[in-house]
Amino acid sequence: MEHAPARSRSRLVGQPLLYAITAFASLGVFLFGYDQGVMSGIITGPHFRKFFNNPGPIEVGTMVAVLEIGAFVTSIAAGQVGDKLGRRGTLFIGACVFGVGGAIQTFTPGYWIMVVGRIIAGFGVGLLSTIVPIYQSEISPPDHRGALACMEFTGNIFGYASSVWIDYFCSFIDSDLSWRIPLFIQCVIGLILAAGSLLMPESPRWLIDTDKDAEGMRVLVDLHGGDPNDIVAKAEFQEIKDRVIFERESGEGRSYGMMWRRYKRRVLLAMSSQAFAQLNGINVISYYAPRVFEEAGWIGRDAILMTGINGIIYILSTIPTWYLVDRWGRRFILLSGAVVMGIALTLTGWWMYVDVPETPRAVVICVIIFNAAFGYSWGPLPWLYPPEIMPLTIRAKGVSISTATNWAFNFIVGETTPYLQEQIKWRLYPMHGFYCACSFVLVYFLYPETRGVPLEEMDAVFGEEELEERLEEEESERASLVSRRSSRSRSGALARPEIRSRRTGFFDRLLGRSGYEPIRDGDE
């Protein structure tokens, strides 16, 4: 192994480097948060409606939701792109494509050019929404991985809230600039992200996986404080390298077919987390909050103002999860969030049904509670969970499938919401409340806890280490070599405890306690 060069005084290292990477990567999720929210305020504006000849609900739904078609396409392709060009290169391309789409929307001469601009922006969003969570998970230490991913999600909600407030202030402009300026701002942010991505280090796991060992070690050294002799950085390098060698010599491919055969459970869990993030009703609010508030009795600019206030509380709700996700674990946060969201959506529908003078205020309160619960739970964790549970060889492909699921369901919800608001009215909200109940059941029975588990040891969480050992015993001489390398991999991590299964009772499952615990000295 080549040694990393001596620390440069001009480079960021350690935690400052980690937080700088998180801040810049958060611009990626800021962008697709901004793009999701920016349409909610401008579609109700008089100049926008006049320019597009008062579009009906299907036209509005298509204009809003067509972004998800582009995002769906490139989120699938991002698995291949991320493996070939690296995480940083994919981030750069996604930012550039997004900027082009934003420019087309800004200067659109009519409806169909706007739709094309939304699709192209969606191409950028698909790349960014897939690669940013992968990149963040691969540079984060296990005990801070959840917090850093949740900080990124706060960037997403900050983007959404910023777009709503920009829509509100621009609504006072008495011209088409009232909707063109909010669309133009996303181009500026895209250019900043593209420039920043050129300054960020590449993922050390991708570098080691592509045999750029010296560069991968250099990034790990920088992330651990800059000392080339740091024992933890060396141990982490060896653990990643041994895992890469083990997976190569096992003859395990990297195709989508192999991923589905070998890791079907993980893929389905990752897909379900993203599907229910949409079915639980968030984009009924994110895309159409002003329309929801208008339905409840807030009219015109007041509806956008209520949406902006909701956005501020939405941002604040994501902050406690920074602290709690690596302490309470993933399961408890998802379970508790599903309960509160389901109750809030059901009450939203009930208040609209009774239609009393208190309804407008009550609906605002229910929507704010729903948004806060989502921001604390089902907002950040479906972006954290999939890259955590996927092995390195197919992480980009697995996350691309889960992200594509997000955009597919995102499109369905975005396209159908205006129609359902007119056809089934208040019943729309209890319907999504029912999906919240379904997501509770799914997490309670099927989702393992991943808090604090190193990415290279995730096999143990899914009970796959024992299966690997049985297969190795039955294989030929080549598999014996793989087995020895695997054994070295487990002993090379020194500071990393092994994990084993333990039975969990009712309260363990409810509180999200891990079904796995370290093997202590003397246990073997």
pLDDT of residue 289: 65
pLDDT of residue 357: 86
Residues 52 and 151 in one domain: yes
Residues 305 and 442 in one domain: yes
Total domains, the chain:
2
Per-residue pLDDT in tens (0 to 9) along the chain, 524 residues: 444 444 444 577 888 888 888 888 888 888 878 887 788 778 878 999 999 998 887 888 788 878 888 888 998 888 888 888 998 999 999 999 999 999 999 999 999 999 999 999 999 988 988 888 888 888 888 777 888 888 888 888 888 888 888 988 898 899 999 999 999 998 998 888 898 888 889 999 899 989 999 999 999 999 888 888 889 889 989 988 988 888 787 766 677 888 888 889 999 999 999 999 999 988 777 656 666 677 666 766 777 777 788 788 888 999 999 999 988 999 999 999 999 999 999 999 998 899 888 888 888 888 889 989 999 999 999 989 999 998 888 888 899 999 899 888 988 887 788 788 788 888 999 999 999 999 999 999 999 998 888 887 888 888 765 545 544 554 444 444 434 444 443 444 333 434 343 334 443 444 444 444 443 434 43
Residues 195 and 312 in one domain: no
Listed residues 180, 200, 220: the one ending a domain = 200
Residues 339 and 473 in one domain: yes
Residues 158 and 288 in one domain: no
Question: Does residue 162 fall inside a structural domain?
Answer: yes
Burial of 40 (0-12, 13-18, 19+ CB in 10 A): buried
Residues 186 and 274 in one domain: no
Listed residues 156, 173, 200: the one ending a domain = 200
Residues 284 and 368 in one domain: yes
pLDDT of residue 346: 94
- How far is residue 420 from each of residues 43, 57, 195, 250, 435, measured CA to CA in Å? 17, 10, 42, 51, 16
The boundaries of the domain holding residue 169 are 11-200
CATH code for the domain of 368: 1.20.1250.20
Closest CA to 102 of 212, 184, 209, 224: 184
Question: Does residue 494 fall inside a structural domain?
Answer: no
pLDDT of residue 487: 43
Question: Does residue 515 fall inside a structural domain?
Answer: no
Listed residues 200, 226, 250: the one ending a domain = 200
> Please, what sign has the CA dihedral across residues 280, 282, 287, 293?
positive
pLDDT of residue 120: 94
Question: Does residue 45 fall inside a structural domain?
Answer: yes
> Please, what sign has the CA dihedral across residues 79, 83, 84, 86?
positive
pLDDT of residue 440: 97
Supply 116's token pair: 């094309």
Question: Does residue 516 fall inside a structural domain?
Answer: no
Residues 182 and 271 in one domain: no
Phi, psi dihedrals of residue 499, rounded to the nearest 5°: -125, 145
| CA–CA separation, 29 and 155 (whole Å) | 6
Contacts of 384 (CB under 8 A, 6+ apart): 133, 137, 145, 146, 149, 150, 153, 325, 330
Question: Does residue 440 fall inside a structural domain?
Answer: yes
| CA–CA separation, 343 and 521 (whole Å) | 47
Residues 129 and 274 in one domain: no
| CA–CA separation, 140 and 129 (whole Å) | 17
Residues 371 and 460 in one domain: yes
| CB neighbours of residue 285 within 10 Å | 25
Question: Does residue 254 fall inside a structural domain?
Answer: no
Question: Does residue 70 fall inside a structural domain?
Answer: yes
DSSP result, 186-231:
HHHHHHHHHHHHTTSPPPHHHHHHTT-HHHHHHHHHHHTTS-TT-H
- How far is residue 315 from each of residues 21, 154, 254, 368, 380, measured CA to CA in Å? 20, 6, 38, 11, 12
pLDDT of residue 407: 86
Residue with structure tokens 């997000």? 406
Residues 165 and 283 in one domain: no
Residues 189 and 269 in one domain: no
